[in-house]
Structure 1
Amino acid sequence: MPDTKQTEGSQTTNTATDNANVGAQIGNVEGDAVFHKHETIYQVAEDASAEKKFRVARSFIDGGIPRQAEDLIRQAISAGYVTTEVSYYYALSVLSERSLNRLGADELDKLQHATRVAEHLPHDQWWAAIVVIGGLVQCAVHPASAPSKDALRVVLDAFQALGKERQAEITRHLDMIFDGAMQEELDRLNAATIPAQRAKGERSERAWKYFHPDPTAPRRATPTPLRNGEPRTTAWLVTTTGIAGLGLFVALGVRTAGVGFLILFLVGVLITGRFGAQVLTPYLRRRMKEAEHGRNPAEFDEYEELGVELNPTQKFAHTVWKRIHFYFAVRRPVTNKYEWNMKTKGFQAALHWRLVRLYSNRRVAVPTLNWLIRWHAKQIAEQWRDESLPDFRRTLRPRASTILSLTGSAVVAASVAGLLVSSSTAQGFGPTVTSILQVVAACFAGAGIAYLFADRRAMTQEQEALDEFFADEQREYLRWQERLRDRPTDLEMANWLESDKHYLKTLAMRRCELSSREIIAHVVLTAGKPRAMRARVVNGPPRFSRYVVLVFLLTQHGVREVDVDLNFLTGAIYDERRTAFKYDALASARVLEKGFHSAEGQQHVVLLGRDVHLTEKSALVISRTFELALVNDQKIEVVVDNYEGLIDDSATEDRNKLDELALDSSGVAIALHILEAVAAEGREWITREQDRRDRRWREWERGGRDSTALGGRPWPPRIGPAVNSSEKGNMP
């Protein structure tokens, strides 16, 4: 898509290609979904200790989930777990992801309580950080005119005296309340650290690992008997009948003249059977492989197109087949696509059959088999390039010497059989018939025994080949496990994303030639790109391998919007697009929800993508879309992830909290609060919002609160009476 064009008038023009909507064309993500259900950094029991709740709350804060952190720390303090560190992180959790416009009396009460609780504790590094937070809030929201340069300088000097880690935390979590001179100074102080934060921890070498699940261990396969063992059963029947008949006819027809020929014939039959088994073994193996390579794993594609509901085994088989087809397409060497597909479709079908047999009944998630499918596709591609692609139709053939030996032994045995029958004719019709029946019974028994030996040899050789496969797979499994050993945590992923958002906000200001003093408010929205890889941990937000990031900069004269594509795995930014519009051009901001609510037990047919599902859920959110509409019918849309494929039935998660988390982590909740007011009030939003902010502050002070307890002048903050035990247990 080309860059959008900007105008300074109320009319905003924008261009898009291929019948796309103007703005951010963001659709449902169709890539891999990985759920790390064994990661427990965001899990805490209701009856957990206060200290445990605080430690999990720390993870929530670092993971960019402040509302859950706020609630857990409140519980910890109410239970009597009070330290300066706890108070500091409680203040951070209250302020994080909240703009100045969302700081009301409740939030200010919580901040004051955090300060009062910590005031009589040792004045350590955490207390110093609390003082800085209070000073920054005071400078941002005090109803008087903008803080003097000297007062701001005092706060910033105290900020610089903190450790680098505290500085980074305060910058990240108070970003929404900074504006004007304060933001400009902090940007200057942090200018050198943001690029380093984006790349730290070997991001480009490790970020991709987050989107790969723990691999499922390979399983030793066993060969499938030809036609499910029917020929083997027949061979046993033929062998038993032949041996029984031979014994009967020998007992009835032994004559002195024919005993020698009969013994020679039976020896000839055994030798012929031995060579016959050797000739038959590769034939049986070839037939077994033809059965595997000749399967049609794509049969369920038609069911999907017709909307037929598949059972769990069929769904597994269909998903595995699509994954095999994808990886073989990715690994295709530089060659003709049709030729590659024709030459490898048998290998794909055989791999599919083996995986379905081994894993379909073990509740294995298909993404955990990606490593195995990818490895097999790589092996086939390498063999293709080396011109060593296995051709069982050529290699599984008997040797010429074995065929010659079989022919010779068969001729000798037939000759002896003729002599046996001839020697019996002189003794009459009865002995002749008995000799013929002896020959027939011996041939039946010999053929059956030859097949049974050939079948056993074929199964043994196939098992040896599969065991070699298993040994190779086991080595690759161990190698892949080692590669994923330093997979980043969700906290690292959150820090990288926050650094990206801060950097992109700075980049947008530079592109629009705006300074921090000109920015009244800003909003950063993130959404996964179509077909991006997705992953999350229990109680955590979705993370994406590729994002669309939208930055809204609100100034005195209107809104500037910059959106870019972000390759999260490397931090690379590309395809920048820009839009500008005045406040009166904004028609509405809303969240559209698709789903249903119904009585318990009522069934619904739900279409998700191309999959048809029957559900009895009383409520289901299929999708949420943030929509920003302009008066000229242009729209900017962001689709919020609905966790499809990212929820495991074995994990006890609150779906309502997850839906709220998706809105918060994408930035939609903040954007809706700000842009909805802008759409309703136009340019007057600027002065009205300032008036509302001043009024809230005055009302809070008139309610008996002490604004200096938030870090206001005098410096350091003047704190009220000492906290007592009852105050600890009554959190605002």
Structure 2
Amino acid sequence: MTGPDTGTTNYAGDSAYVGVQAATVHGGVHYYSLPADPSPAEKFETGVRWLDGSTPDRARQLIHEAIMDGHTGNEVCFYWQLALVSGRTRHEMPEEDAERLRQARTICHVTGGDAWADGVKAISRLLDSAQQPDADLPALLKDFDGLGEIQRAAILRHFELFLEGPLKDQMWHRALQSAKQHQMADSRAERVWKFFQPEPTPPRRRPVRPADISTGTWIRAVVATAVLAVAAIHIGYLLARELQVFALLVYLLGIVGGCCAARSGMEWRFRSERRRAKDEEYGRPRERTTGAPAGGFANKVDQRFDHYFARYVPRDTSRSAWLAGTAGIRKSMRDEIVEIYREQRTGVEKISWLIRYRVGDVKKRWENGTLWSYRWELATPLATKVVALAGLAVFVLGIVWAVESAARIAPLSAVRSVAIALAAGVFAVRAWAHIVLERRRCAADEAESAQMQEDCMAAFERWQAKLADKPSDPEMATWLNRDRKVLLDEALRHYGLVMSNMVAYAFIEAPGSSASRARVLNGPWRYTRYQLLLFLLTADGVRQLSAELDFARGTFHDRGRTNYRYEAVAAVRVRQADDGERSFELVLVNGERIQAKVIGPGMEELEPGETPGVVSEATLDAAGLHHTLHVMEGIAAEGKQWIAQERRRKDDRRHQRSKVADPA
């Protein structure tokens, strides 16, 4: 019995949502979705998936609809029987479903002797034997053990609550043995985390800024070049007319030197400007950027970059030096990601892989010393500088010599041509420099962008390959079901109980602290950490056990135990808040409240194609809330008399079935 102090015990309280790391919906996975006009076979197959996903209420509905539409057979009957008994005890089953269970073999037209028919017969014998104290259990269990692996595992899983007496102990022993043996099967520890990873969005290329070359620039370049050519030819003509061969050769040599100087000078200038631009991009930001609005896409991108840069610190480097040295790179990459994906309605969780890869690439280049390699890659070679300076010297010498010679021949004409050539040359050089540098810049940006896209696409394909064996939702449900059995066995051993001696038991599953969550379309939420709340109803009262489950490892932590009499239970209810939160609440007579938040606020956010209520109902069903409410509400209403009332209801049902079976 609990102490006299009143209070509230939150077994999955507010902290379960403060630290939620991610919420993922696998919108492309359609385990539980039906087409617009489903066939009976499609309803049945989807119903079986719901059953495998530990949501029997929806499974019962769909399989029943499939049968009513004419879809029958041995396999249909097998899963129909399992759906009817799954997740509830005999006294919880409505009489309508009890009658369906009795008539299942007839309704579904069971024939032949395949593995499914054997499973149907085994279920019928289990149901009959549970009502017969003198049943031949060894023979029954021998037949059961001879079933196929699929049929045997399914029966053990879904008959957990439905059987009674010695048969229940035997079946529980088999179910527990299987759960312990396969608790970490199918590489669970290596695969569970993948379920909580969203389908990654492929990398996108940032549009390269096109070359900024206007029509006016082209006109200036062409016209100025033409005028320059005419003026230069006129000067050459003056020299040739007077047979100034040496001056003409020097003039031509000067022109060649000028061309070489222009070519090498353009290369020199391009490298210098590109290096300076890279320094500005990768250097420490000059101005302090204001934070993006909280909750927006840009703000979430900021958080991911901050997280990964803080996490991926190069070896032999302090975090402060790493963050300071990469401040500019971090801002540049962040701005690029925000620009590319902001207008595409892409959730940041779908590009986390890209952010992680880009940060990891920066770390790798920091460690191998290539992060700033562009500085020497863009450094102008000495030969280029020599050619530029030498060509310029030859150009000046040749032009001066030629102009002086031409001025002696025709002073006025020579001066006029030189003036025109100088003016046109200035315009031509400036225009062509802009054109050449812009085209070089654009080509370099395209090459960098293409290389980055190639690298990111390779990383994307590696990430997709790593997620290829992501577990299905039914696999997640199967692992969780095994964990529940292991925890139930721990509680039974701690309290010295056996299954057949318990009046009843019930589970509540809620998200654990700092848990990530994910679900498939229309499916229940699954979590990386669960808070499990187990109620054991014994002849002396309620034994309550709570534990936090690390789902990937299948380990339990932070156990808590509470015991109280039936008369101590004052009320049981499910609270639904306006924000969609659903919480189970058990109130004791001393005022203590035991709460578990089964669904947190904002978790009913729907994807296209989903209808309101589907996700919450599937989550409540998978969490075991319906069965728990039935048990605990009975305790709250009838106290210890609930035990006698349950036994009386069982006897009444057994008597009614006997009358139906033997009307004489």
Following the alignment from structure 2 to structure 1, what is the Cα–Cα distance between the partners of residues 347 and 287?
18
- AA matched with 2:639: G
Following the alignment from structure 1 to structure 2, what is the Cα–Cα distance between the partners of residues 636 and 58?
32
- AA matched with 2:24: V
- AA matched with 1:93: A
Q: 2:11 aligns with which of 18, 23, 29?
A: 23
Query: What's the offset of the Cα at 1:170?
Result: 1.6
Q: 1:200 aligns with which of 185, 204, 215?
A: 185
Matched, 1:653 2:638: no
Return closer, same or farther for 1:371/1:127 CA change in 2, 3 Å cut-off.
Answer: same
Query: What's the offset of the Cα at 1:132?
Result: 4.1
Match of 2:620 in 1: 663
- AA matched with 2:355: I
Return closer, same or farther for 1:281/1:46 CA change in 2, 3 Å cut-off.
Answer: closer
Match of 1:460 in 2: 443
Q: 1:686 aligns with which of 643, 651, 661?
A: 643
Q: Secondary structure at the match of 2:28?
A: coil
Match of 1:333 in 2: 314
Q: Is the 8 A contact 1:641 1:662 kept in 2?
A: no
Following the alignment from structure 2 to structure 1, what is the Cα–Cα distance between the partners of residues 25 and 427?
59
Question: Which structure has the larger Rg over C-alpha atoms?
Answer: 2
Q: Secondary structure at the match of 2:369?
A: coil
Match of 1:351 in 2: 333
What is the number of residues matched between the two proteins? 650
Return closer, same or farther for 1:297/1:73 CA change in 2, 3 Å cut-off.
Answer: farther
Matched, 1:622 2:580: yes
Q: Deviations over 1:440-477 (max 9, x none)?
A: 43133224323432333333334333333333333333
Q: Secondary structure at the match of 2:471?
A: coil
Q: Deviations over 1:157-190 (max 9, x none)?
A: 5533433432321221121234554432222233
Q: 2:382 aligns with which of 368, 384, 400?
A: 400
Matched, 1:385 2:367: yes
Q: How does 1:631-642 map to 2 (within 5 A)?
A: 631-641=590-600
Matched, 1:303 2:293: yes
Q: 2:170 aligns with which of 154, 165, 185?
A: 185
Match of 2:100 in 1: 110
Q: Deviations over 1:178-211 (max 9, x none)?
A: 4554432222233432122222222223333323
Q: 1:527 aligns with which of 507, 510, 529?
A: 510
Q: Secondary structure at the match of 1:590?
A: strand
Q: Is the 8 A contact 1:553 1:561 kept in 2?
A: yes
Q: Secondary structure at the match of 1:686?
A: helix
Following the alignment from structure 2 to structure 1, what is the Cα–Cα distance between the partners of residues 569 and 625?
17
Farther off after superposition, 236-245 or 405-414: 236-245
Following the alignment from structure 1 to structure 2, what is the Cα–Cα distance between the partners of residues 661 and 300?
42
> Identity of paired residues, percent?
27
Farther off after superposition, 106-115 or 512-521: 512-521
Q: Deviations over 1:47-89 (max 9, x none)?
A: 4332332222222222222222212221222222222322221
Q: 1:162 aligns with which of 135, 140, 147?
A: 147
Matched, 1:277 2:259: no
Match of 1:485 in 2: 468
Q: 1:537 aligns with which of 515, 520, 524?
A: 520
Following the alignment from structure 2 to structure 1, what is the Cα–Cα distance between the partners of residues 491 and 310?
38
Following the alignment from structure 1 to structure 2, what is the Cα–Cα distance between the partners of residues 542 and 180?
34
Following the alignment from structure 1 to structure 2, what is the Cα–Cα distance between the partners of residues 233 and 572?
70
Return closer, same or farther for 1:249/1:139 CA change in 2, 3 Å cut-off.
Answer: same
Match of 2:31 in 1: 41
Return closer, same or farther for 1:396/1:590 CA change in 2, 3 Å cut-off.
Answer: farther
Following the alignment from structure 1 to structure 2, what is the Cα–Cα distance between the partners of residues 396 and 493?
53
Query: What's the offset of the Cα at 1:109?
Result: 1.8
Q: Deviations over 1:615-642 (max 9, x none)?
A: xxxxxx5322223344343433224156
Q: Is the 8 A contact 1:297 1:321 kept in 2?
A: no
Match of 1:99 in 2: 89
Q: Secondary structure at the match of 1:388?
A: coil
TM-score of the superposed pair, with normalisation by structure 1: 0.78
Return closer, same or farther for 1:553/1:13 CA change in 2, 3 Å cut-off.
Answer: farther
Q: Is the 8 A contact 1:54 1:73 kept in 2?
A: yes
Q: Deviations over 1:24-52 (max 9, x none)?
A: 33523733333333333323336433233
- AA matched with 2:581: S
Following the alignment from structure 1 to structure 2, what is the Cα–Cα distance between the partners of residues 177 and 296?
70
Matched, 1:72 2:62: yes
Query: What's the offset of the Cα at 1:93?
Result: 0.7
Q: Deviations over 1:462-517 (max 9, x none)?
A: 43333333333333333333333333222222211211222222123234443324
Following the alignment from structure 2 to structure 1, what is the Cα–Cα distance between the partners of residues 403 and 57?
98
Q: Is the 8 A contact 1:35 1:647 kept in 2?
A: no
Following the alignment from structure 2 to structure 1, what is the Cα–Cα distance between the partners of residues 259 and 107?
96
Following the alignment from structure 2 to structure 1, what is the Cα–Cα distance between the partners of residues 379 and 214?
21
Q: Deviations over 1:644-697 (max 9, x none)?
A: 497432xx2222222211111122232233223323443333333444454566
Following the alignment from structure 2 to structure 1, what is the Cα–Cα distance between the partners of residues 446 and 319?
33
Match of 1:61 in 2: 51
Query: What's the offset of the Cα at 1:137?
Result: 4.4
Gaps of at least 5 residues in structure 2 are: 241-246
Query: What's the offset of the Cα at 1:288?
Result: 4.6
Return closer, same or farther for 1:50/1:167 CA change in 2, 3 Å cut-off.
Answer: same
Following the alignment from structure 1 to structure 2, what is the Cα–Cα distance between the partners of residues 49 and 161?
34
Return closer, same or farther for 1:420/1:548 CA change in 2, 3 Å cut-off.
Answer: farther
Following the alignment from structure 1 to structure 2, what is the Cα–Cα distance between the partners of residues 639 and 133?
32
TM-score of the superposed pair, with normalisation by structure 2: 0.85
Following the alignment from structure 1 to structure 2, what is the Cα–Cα distance between the partners of residues 319 and 391?
31
Q: Is the 8 A contact 2:260 2:387 kept in 1?
A: no
Return closer, same or farther for 1:331/1:47 CA change in 2, 3 Å cut-off.
Answer: same
Larger relative contact order (CA 8 Å, sep ≥ 6)? 1
Query: What's the offset of the Cα at 1:411?
Result: 4.0
Following the alignment from structure 1 to structure 2, what is the Cα–Cα distance between the partners of residues 465 and 653?
42
Query: What's the offset of the Cα at 1:90?
Result: 1.0
Q: Is the 8 A contact 2:537 2:543 kept in 1?
A: yes
Q: Is the 8 A contact 1:371 1:480 kept in 2?
A: yes
Return closer, same or farther for 1:433/1:524 CA change in 2, 3 Å cut-off.
Answer: farther
Q: Is the 8 A contact 1:269 1:410 kept in 2?
A: yes
Q: Is the 8 A contact 2:12 2:511 kept in 1?
A: no
Q: 1:375 aligns with which of 344, 349, 357?
A: 357
Matched, 1:243 2:243: no
Q: How does 1:546-585 map to 2 (within 5 A)?
A: 546-585=529-568
Following the alignment from structure 2 to structure 1, what is the Cα–Cα distance between the partners of residues 289 and 140?
69
Q: Is the 8 A contact 2:293 2:299 kept in 1?
A: no
Q: Is the 8 A contact 2:225 2:428 kept in 1?
A: yes
Gaps of at least 5 residues in structure 1 are: 1-8, 596-620, 710-717, 721-732
Q: Secondary structure at the match of 2:313?
A: coil
Q: Is the 8 A contact 1:272 1:409 kept in 2?
A: yes
Q: Is the 8 A contact 2:235 2:403 kept in 1?
A: no
Following the alignment from structure 1 to structure 2, what is the Cα–Cα distance between the partners of residues 383 and 352?
18
Query: What's the offset of the Cα at 1:232?
Result: 7.7
- AA matched with 1:655: P
Match of 1:171 in 2: 156
Farther off after superposition, 365-374 or 274-283: 365-374
Following the alignment from structure 2 to structure 1, what is the Cα–Cα distance between the partners of residues 603 and 377?
47
Match of 1:611 in 2: none
